[in-house]
Structure 1
Amino acid sequence: MTGSRIPGLFVPAVFLLALVAGVCWYWRHRDDD
């Protein structure tokens, strides 16, 4: 099983996805006056 190898890629991927989602959400709601 290569299961021990997956978290090493999964954790940064989730972090990056969360960061991008946060930036996109901020960008969309930033000019909602």
Structure 2
Amino acid sequence: MWFDGPDVFEVGVILTLVAALCIFWLTHSDRA
């Protein structure tokens, strides 16, 4: 997999940003 080194923090940050974007899109979408 791609959990080879100490970049698990980067993965966590990316997942957090993606989750925030998804929540933002879902809450602000007119076609909910």
Q: TM-score range by the shorter chain?
A: 0.5 to 0.7
- The structure having more radius of gyration, on CA atoms, is 1
Q: After the TM superposition, which parts of structure 1 deviate over 4 Å for at least 4 consecutive aligned residues?
A: none
Report percent identity of matched pairs: 7
Which structure shows the higher helix fraction?
A: 1
Greater RCO, CA 8 A, separation 6+? 2
Q: Please report the RMSD computed on the Cα atoms of aligned residues, expressed in angstroms.
A: 2.2
Structure 1, unaligned runs of 5 or more: none
Structure 2 residue runs of 5 or longer lacking an equivalent are none
Q: TM-score, normalised by structure 1?
A: 0.65
Aligned length: 29
